Amino acid sequence: MDIDFALVLVSLVSFCGALWLLDSLLNKNNRLAAIEEYLRTQAKGRSEEEINKAVAELGEEPLVIEYAKSFFPVLLIVLVLRSFLIEPFQIPTGSMIPTLEVGDFILVNKYAYGVRLPVVGTKIMDIDDPKRGEVMVFIPPHENKYYIKRVIGLPGDTVRYEDNNLYINGELIITEFEKEILIDTSIGDLPGTLYSETIGGIEHAIQLIDALGQRRTRTNWIIPNGQYFMMGDNRNNSSDSRDWGTVSEEDIVGKAIAIWMHKEPGLNLPSFSRNQWIY
């Protein structure tokens, strides 16, 4: 089960803040009053050391309040950074190979497509709209978890994908041969081909499995308003809009901008050899 870190952070920040506020409203004045009472009635004739010790004990906050006050600003900063600026994300599947590999840790720009409230995702400020060819993180219509794919179709576009050829608004997207490769699949390595493709002025690599042809019955889509058509760069090995439909503007998370670390599955040390911008 995926953990909703935004919800966890909001809950922790709210809990710590509520404890701090309640203590300030209900208990802080009582501690100050106890100190004043001690100084007025019991401090006379005592040494400075005794007085300071007694005052410290009377003014001491409960341990849970100390922790709440210590953690609140730290958690709040993390919440603001993750919710409105940059959020880390790990690539769990190979659907975006060769652009992104399993084990890549990437940074997602949370404000590129508008500022949204954490957890609920409601947009409170427009910044920009997704562009064709950009790599985007989103929540798909069929599953409540983060996905990452490339933006292929914008609202109003007509997308056609047939015989491994991509057409946008009737125009064939030209691919250039790069080299023959072996592609890792659930049934072992299969021969494939690496191509260079340019969409929306963004050049990137895609890969196709030579032995696989058309495996989907539907080949044409008209993209509704407020929706986006997403595809993986691992074209024959990606569950995307060709299978579960378009992505609503309300379910956009952010724009993938960079790989900052890579870690192979298992007991392997992380490496920084794949650090790069994402195109």
The residues annotated with a catalytic role in the active site are: 95, 149
Angstrom distance (rounded) from CA 48 to CA 168: 82
Angstrom distance (rounded) from CA 26 to CA 136: 47
Laid out side by side, the sheet with 158-162 consists of 171-172, 165-168, 158-162, 220-222
Are 150 and 238 contacting, i.e. CB atoms less than 8 angstroms apart? no
DSSP for 47-92, written as a single string: -HHHHHHHHHHHHPPPHHHHHHHHHHHHHHHHHHIIIIIEEEEE--
Angstrom distance (rounded) from CA 148 to CA 231: 9
Nearest residue to 197 (alpha-carbon basis) of 237, 157, 158, 167: 167
Amino acid at 8: V
Phi, psi of 129 (to 5 degrees): -105, 155
